[in-house]
Structure 1
Amino acid sequence: MTEDEINDLVYKLQSLLPRPNDDPLLAGWIDLQASASKLLRETCSHIRRLRRELDGLSEQLAGLIATMDADSAEAEIVRSLLRS
């Protein structure tokens, strides 16, 4: 998931959050909206961290594979892990 896709998802999800108006019966919605918005921001931040971590692990794996003998037992283990 790219940064643009995450931002687009955030925009779409924010549009689904309840919008309070001047009705006093909806005053509690302000707190609910703030909580939902905070949860959304934290979730997106976590997704971004996971994506960066995955990118780093992918680079490490690519480096490891590049130094392996393609016919070695280690290479076969890596291939079997990638298939599962």
Structure 2
Amino acid sequence: MSSRRSRASRHREEDEINNHILKLQAAISQIQRTGTTSRASASKILKETCNFIKKLHREMEDLSERLSVLMASIDTNSAEAEVLISLLMQR
């Protein structure tokens, strides 16, 4: 069940990243066509994109820390450890 949630979460994040990339491409294209009139919107899109990337980094650090705690608390020869390691080896 959690792997389904993880995949769904990953899919939403990929969609959000793609959406920011499309907005950024459109803003850059518009700037190239019109000059400086759209710099504010391009700046806003860049800021939103940077903030989103920072948020993803914070989430990754949090998950990494939680994983370290989990790995330290389980017996490395247990079935749970094998399942966890197999999940970590998946893409």
- TM-score bin (small chain): 0.5 to 0.7
Q: Which structure 1 residue ranges, 5 or more long, are not aligned? A: 1-16, 20-25
Q: Verify: 1:59 aligned to 2:65, yes or no.
A: yes
Query: How many Å separate the matches in 1 of 2:87 and 2:37?
Result: 46
Tell me the residue number matched to 2:47: 41
Runs of 4+ in 1 over 4 A off after TM superposition: none
- How far residue 82 of structure 1 moved from its aligned partner, in angstroms, is 1.1
Aligned residues: 61
Alignment of 1:74 with 2:71, yes or no, is: no
More RCO (CA 8 Å, sep 6+): 1
Give TM-score scaled by structure 1 length.
0.63
Q: TM-score, normalised to structure 2's length?
A: 0.59
Q: Taking every aligned residue pair, what percent have the same amino acid on both sides? A: 46
Larger radius of gyration: 1
Alignment correspondent of 2:36: 30
Q: Root-mean-square deviation (CA), in Å? A: 2.0
Cα offset for 1:35?
0.8
Higher helix share: 2
Structure 2 unmatched runs, 5+: 1-27
Instruction: In structure 2, give the amino acid aligned to 1:82.
Output: L
